[in-house]
């Protein structure tokens, strides 16, 4: 189809299946749901290039093609083989994709937590029949304990009880420390739980983190020293995340390494909003960790600790 200008895009927000990218059409006008492996494609319906897919026009005629993946390693999950670029659901709660031998997944169920509050003093997660994801319900409690169960997160003021329409003013903010970065080098994820929101509801919050770049040159260990500091980069650098680049450059601090079996990890950090720009022209913001101080210790994370969840060391002194 010929392109028409000025661009006219649907007013309704784009609704795509979980794990499907939003990409520009061939006219550079409107975002469309990217076609996946094995699906029909065209200039107006491009393949998901974020997953290494391309439109092969040699197999189908009349301006249509089929989405194929570039050469890459297959993935083995519980004895089942998946091809490079193939999307699959190992369970109803996960949407996964094979990317050159590595498997990446996103949850299809909400992982939010719910804290007792005046409008919901007894929240409980329930599994409903014929539904994959558990859902929160509010059990009705007696009037005498309606506020008692909620006072753990609300300021005690004998003058008045928290009103249902005034949750944030009476909310006693509770926030856990940030978890350790999910990767020892390169871009990872750190998480915490907080109820600092208008609903005073306990929710999971994430931020990007980088302990050190994977290709950063390390200094040689000085004589008599067992650990080496990682210097600040001499030139400012741009962060990269999911194929997008930070709009401004930074000179962050990184943690070093030790030769005596200890780990060097962030100890005091700050959290800053970083803006990213994608090749398609989109902008988005993500919270990101910036290191102020590192510490050396023997409580080292195990390989692949983001999946095994065996690493419980926490950082202190975070300042937003």
- Is 236 in the same domain as 256? yes
pLDDT band per the 50, 70, 90 thresholds, residue 318: very low
Q: Is residue 163 part of a domain?
A: no
Average pLDDT over every residue of 164-168: 52
The pLDDT of residue 30 is above 60: yes
Average pLDDT over every residue of 277-286: 83
Q: Is residue 45 part of a domain?
A: no
The pLDDT of residue 158 is above 50: no
Q: Is residue 173 part of a domain?
A: no
Query: Which pLDDT score, from 0 to 100, does residue 224 have?
Result: 59
- Is 96 in the same domain as 117? no
> Which structural domain range is residue 91 located in?
75-107
- Is 271 in the same domain as 244? yes
252 class by beta-carbon count within 10 Å (0-12 exposed, 13-18 middle, 19+ buried) = middle
The count of residues in the chain is: 320
- Is 129 in the same domain as 202? no
pLDDT band per the 50, 70, 90 thresholds, residue 168: low
- Is 131 in the same domain as 209? no
Q: Is residue 150 part of a domain?
A: no
pLDDT band per the 50, 70, 90 thresholds, residue 275: very high
- Is 85 in the same domain as 122? no
Comparing 118-127, 153-162, 248-257, the range with the smallest average pLDDT is: 153-162
Number of independent structural domains in the chain: 3
d(CA 44, CA 33): 10
Average pLDDT over every residue of 142-171: 52
Q: Is residue 12 part of a domain?
A: no
- Is 91 in the same domain as 126? no
Q: Is residue 310 part of a domain?
A: no
pLDDT band per the 50, 70, 90 thresholds, residue 223: low
Q: Is residue 116 part of a domain?
A: yes
pTM reported for the whole predicted model: 0.56
- C-alpha distances (whole Å) from 56 to each of 34, 42, 204, 244 are 15, 9, 41, 26
d(CA 257, CA 214): 12
Q: Which helix (H) or strand (E) holds 306?
A: helix 305-308
- Is 286 in the same domain as 191? yes
- C-alpha distances (whole Å) from 306 to each of 21, 85, 270, 309, 310 are 24, 23, 22, 6, 8
Task: Decide which of 284 and 165 is more confident.
Answer: 284
Average pLDDT over every residue of 98-123: 74
What CATH number should be reported for the domain holding residue 201?
2.10.90
- Is 134 in the same domain as 205? no
The mean pLDDT value of the chain amounts to 76
Give residue-wise pLDDT tens across range 228-259.
766 677 788 899 887 789 999 998 988 887 77
Which of helix, strand or coil describes residue 13? coil
- Is 241 in the same domain as 259? yes
- Is 200 in the same domain as 288? yes
Query: Which pLDDT score, from 0 to 100, does residue 248 have?
Result: 92
Task: Decide which of 24 and 60 is more confident.
Answer: 24
Query: Which pLDDT score, from 0 to 100, does residue 273 have?
Result: 94
Residues 6+ apart with CB under 8 A from 62: none
User: Cβ of 288: how many Cβ atoms within 10 Å?
Assistant: 23
Query: Which pLDDT score, from 0 to 100, does residue 56 have?
Result: 83
- Is 99 in the same domain as 116? no
Q: Is residue 122 part of a domain?
A: yes
Query: Which pLDDT score, from 0 to 100, does residue 153 have?
Result: 53
Average pLDDT over every residue of 73-88: 82
């Amino acid at each position: 189809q010929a392109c028409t200008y000025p661009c006219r895009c649907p007013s309704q927000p784009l609704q795509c299946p979980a794990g499907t990218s939003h990409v520009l059409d061939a006219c550079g006008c409107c975002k469309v749901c990217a076609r996946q492996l094995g699906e029909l494609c065209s200039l107006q319906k491009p393949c998901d290039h974020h997953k290494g897919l391309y439109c092969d026009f040699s197999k189908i005629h009349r301006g249509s093609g089929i989405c194929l993946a570039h050469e890459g390693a297959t993935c083995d999950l519980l004895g089942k083989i998946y091809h490079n670029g193939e999307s699959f659901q190992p369970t109803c709660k996960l949407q996964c994709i094979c990317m050159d031998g590595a498997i990446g997944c996103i949850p299809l169920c909400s992982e939010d937590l719910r804290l007792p509050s005046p409008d919901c003093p007894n929240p409980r997660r329930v599994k409903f029949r014929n539904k994959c994801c558990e859902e929160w319900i509010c059990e009705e409690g007696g009037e005498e304990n309606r506020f008692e169960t909620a006072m753990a997160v609300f300021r005690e003021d004998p003058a008045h009880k928290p009103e249902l329409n005034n949750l944030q003013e009476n909310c006693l903010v509770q926030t856990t420390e940030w978890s350790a970065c999910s990767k020892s080098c390169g871009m990872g994820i750190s998480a915490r739980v907080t109820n600092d929101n208008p609903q005073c509801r306990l929710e999971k919050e994430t931020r990007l983190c980088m302990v050190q770049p994977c290709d950063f040159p390390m200094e040689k260990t000085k004589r008599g020293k067992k650990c080496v500091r990682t210097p600040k980069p001499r030139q400012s650098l741009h962060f990269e995340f999911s194929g997008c680049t930070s709009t401004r450059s930074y000179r962050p601090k990184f943690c070093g390494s030790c030769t005596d079996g200890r780990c060097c990890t962030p100890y005091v950090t700050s959290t800053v909003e970083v803006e990213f720009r994608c090749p398609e022209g989109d902008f988005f913001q993500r919270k990101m960790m910036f290191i102020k101080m590192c510490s050396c210790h023997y409580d080292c994370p195990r390989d692949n600790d983001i999946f095994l969840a065996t690493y419980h060391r926490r950082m202190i002194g975070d300042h937003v």
